[in-house]
Amino acid sequence: MGVQQNLERFGVMDKETILAAARSDKHRGKEFENKETARSGLLGSALALFVGIALFLLEYFVKNTVNMGLVAVGLTAAGVDSFYEGVRLKRHHMTVIGIVQILAAIFAILIFIAKVVLA
């Protein structure tokens, strides 16, 4: 029986086995990190959307005006998110939704600029 077989028999791993295990653990950790990064981005976007809606409604009910800047910010964030997801994951319906949202955001930005300049 060789030295390598004795080591394996007693549960001692060789250098290559240890390196392979470390590589697989490294990738497993990266997968968890990627999922948590996506969740944190989703949570941040949802919270920003909630704050934007709250500010929009507050201004609407208190001053009876519509702040198109908040609408533009929300549509821009949602549009870029949908467009990026559609392109990266090859989901054509998400790409189309993203393009529509981005076009709506551009329209809201133009309305906001017109209100500021003409006011």
- The rounded distance, in Å, linking the Cα atoms of 26 and 45 is 29
Which three-class secondary structure state does DSSP give residue 117?
helix
pTM of the model: 0.59
| Residue of 65, 88, 11, 60 lying closest to 80 (CA atoms) | 88
- The rounded distance, in Å, linking the Cα atoms of 28 and 57 is 44
- The rounded distance, in Å, linking the Cα atoms of 86 and 80 is 10
Task: Please report, for the chain, the start and end positions of each structural domain, with discontinuous segments joined by +.
Answer: 66-119
- The rounded distance, in Å, linking the Cα atoms of 47 and 105 is 19
Kindly report, residue by residue over 78-106, the tens digit of the pLDDT: 888 888 888 888 889 889 998 999 999 99
Which has more pLDDT, 14 or 93?
93
